[in-house]
Amino acid sequence: MTDLISVNHALLRILSEFKTLPAEKIDISDALLRTLAEDIHSPFDLPLFSNSSVDGFAVCASKDLRAGTRGNFTLPVIGDIPAGVQTTLRLNRGETARIMTGAPLPEGADAVLPVEDTSYPYRDSSAPLPSEVTFYRFPAVGENVRPRGQDVQKGQKILSKGRKLQPQDIGMLATLGLDRIPVIRRPRIALFSSGDELLTPGIPPQPGKIFDANSYSLGLLAQREGAEVIRLGVARDDYQAVLDLFEKAINAEADLILTSAGVSVGAFDYVRQVLEDHGEVKIWRVNMRPGKPLTFGYYQKVPIISLPGNPVSAFVGFLVFVRPVIAKLSGLEPTAPPTLPVMLEHPVLSDGRESYLRAVVQKSPQGFIARLTGHQGSGNLYSLVQANALLIIPAGVKSLPAGEIVQAWLLDNEPLPVLEKFE
Ligand code: AMP
Ligand code: MG
């Protein structure tokens, strides 16, 4: 068919129509999995000040010949430094001060002996300060000291623009004293399903009707990718109903309109008709299975991706086309899901379109092996529920024998089940 374009071509064309959204400033506590919009440099050294890594007694080791030696050494205790204080204490050779973990080293100190290596092994800060303490060994220079700047130097780049922020990154930002940071605004995706047959779950089935699956699976896929989803419900198979929801999407300032169904050649497939009258259809029909009637275009100036109505087609279409678009809008690299080479457990037939087949991938002594789940009809969601991967059969391939290696997209981050135990 002349108007079928390849998956890769369609994806590149679609991606070329999107650019990264602008930045906004948000609280670090809200920044999980958001994309950093600017490089972050450290405003200071870390640690900020040299401090003790143990509860112990600080000394000047560099000026003391006993440094690093064993023996009993009794020293006068001239001060007490709890964590969180600024100390004005100065240590001279032969003196010591009690110091707690994280407390700043007094001037002159360069080593700390842990309390357990002394005659005063009490960690409790309510233990009275002794006037002298016996060391059972003398610490070496630098022992149990976390010097200023050991981890990070002032001005050093800590996190790069484009980073998808993880909890440890946010802990780091807090360590730098930052509370609000610039991140890329979340994409706003207006979502609706279409079709007179669709019912909302929670009521008994009705003759000729089915329950709307796509509003849920697509909405949650989009949410999982970090988008803000504007749920517009279901458009009836009616020109005006579809038009009304497009208008709602415009009013909600959507960055992308995502719809399912109504883009085939059926008499009631109005989504495509509305686009032709009030926008533009740029791509229609892609050489893939499931998911051929994928449509990309514009309603007025807002980009729209219309996925086929069958729930598996919609799901696969989302992973192939919408996920990378959300990534690009969010300032992330539009990468594919994790891919694994797997061996077919049985022969596989395809129809020459680039196919995404539902499969279970398991680890075996021979490596990862794959077997298709259930009937591959694009309306059969259960075979997707049973799958942990999609096998990608390239365009032009109509059959593959058992033992062939194909690429698999892992559907989630669950560990793969082990088929046979082996050491
Ligand atoms: P269409 O693209 O409108 O021809 O729909 C293709 C098939 O997908 C039909 O069998 C529809 O009933 C089904 N379908 C459409 N939308 C949904 C939906 N939101 N949830 C479940 N099935 C749907
Ligand atoms: Mg329909």
CA of 234, closest atom in ligand 1: 19
CA of 93 to the centre of ligand 2 (A): 86
Nearest atom of ligand 1 to the alpha carbon of 313: 8
Q: What is residue 222's three-state secondary structure?
A: helix
Q: 345: Cβ–Cβ under 8 A, 6 or more apart, which residues?
A: 369, 370, 371, 402
Ramachandran sector of residue 211 (left: φ over 0; alpha: ψ -120 to 50; beta: rest): beta
Rounded CA-CA distance 239/269 in Å is 9
Tokens of 26: 């948000």
Task: Please give the mean pLDDT across all residues of the chain.
Answer: 94
Per-residue confidence band for 3, with pLDDT thresholds at 50, 70 and 90: low
At residue 237, does pLDDT exceed 80? yes
pLDDT for the residue numbered 2: 52
Mean pLDDT of 224-232: 97
Q: What is the pTM of this model?
A: 0.92
For 307-319, write each residue's pLDDT tens digit: 999 999 999 999 9
How far is residue 388's CA from residue 225's CA, in Å, rounded to a whole number?
A: 18
For 339-410, the fitting CATH number among 3.40.190.10, 3.20.20.150, 3.10.20.440, 2.40.340.10 is 2.40.340.10
The CATH superfamily holding the domain 31-42+152-184 is Molybdopterin biosynthesis moea protein, domain 2 (3.90.105.10)
Residue located via tokens 């996925």: 307
CA of 213, closest atom in ligand 1 = 20
User: Could you tell me the residue ranges of all domains in the chain?
Assistant: 7-21+186-329, 31-42+152-184, 51-146, 339-410
Report the nearest atom of ligand 1 relative to the CA of 215. 19
Mean pLDDT of 91-115: 98
Distance between CA atoms of 412 and 406, rounded to whole angstroms?
Answer: 18
Residue 419: the pLDDT is: 55
The pocket around ligand 1, CB under 6 angstroms, is made up of: 193, 195, 197-198, 210, 212-214, 260-262, 264, 266, 269, 308-311, 379
Q: Give the pLDDT of residue 306.
A: 96
Average pLDDT estimate for 197-220:
98
Cα–Cα nearest to 114, from 90, 140, 88: 140
Rounded distance from Cα 195 to ligand 1 centre (Å): 7
* Superfamily of domain 7-21+186-329 in the CATH hierarchy: MoaB/Mog-like domain (3.40.980.10)
Least confidently predicted of 127-141, 272-286, 387-401: 272-286
Strand segments, DSSP code E, in 251-376 are: 256-260, 279-284, 288-289, 295-299, 302-307, 339-344, 348-349, 354-364, 367-372
Beta strands in 300-404 (DSSP E): 302-307, 339-344, 348-349, 354-364, 367-372, 389-393, 399-400
What the block records as the tokens of 77 is: 């205790």
pLDDT greater than 80 at residue 423 = no
CA of 329 relative to ligand 1 center, distance in Å: 28
Ligand 1 pocket test: pick from 210, 245, 385 the residue with the most ligand atoms within 8 Å of its Cβ.
Answer: 210
* Ligand located closest to 234 CA: 1
Q: Could you give the angle at the alpha carbon of 205 between the alpha carbons of 199 and 211, nearest 5°?
A: 35
> Is 2.170.190.11 the CATH classification of the domain at 51-146?
yes
Residue that the structure tokens 């112990």 belong to: 56
Task: Indicate which atom in ligand 1 lies nearest the CA of residue 310.
Answer: 8
Compute the distance from residue 368 Cα to the ligand 2 centre, in Å.
Answer: 39
**pLDDT of amino acid 417:** 60
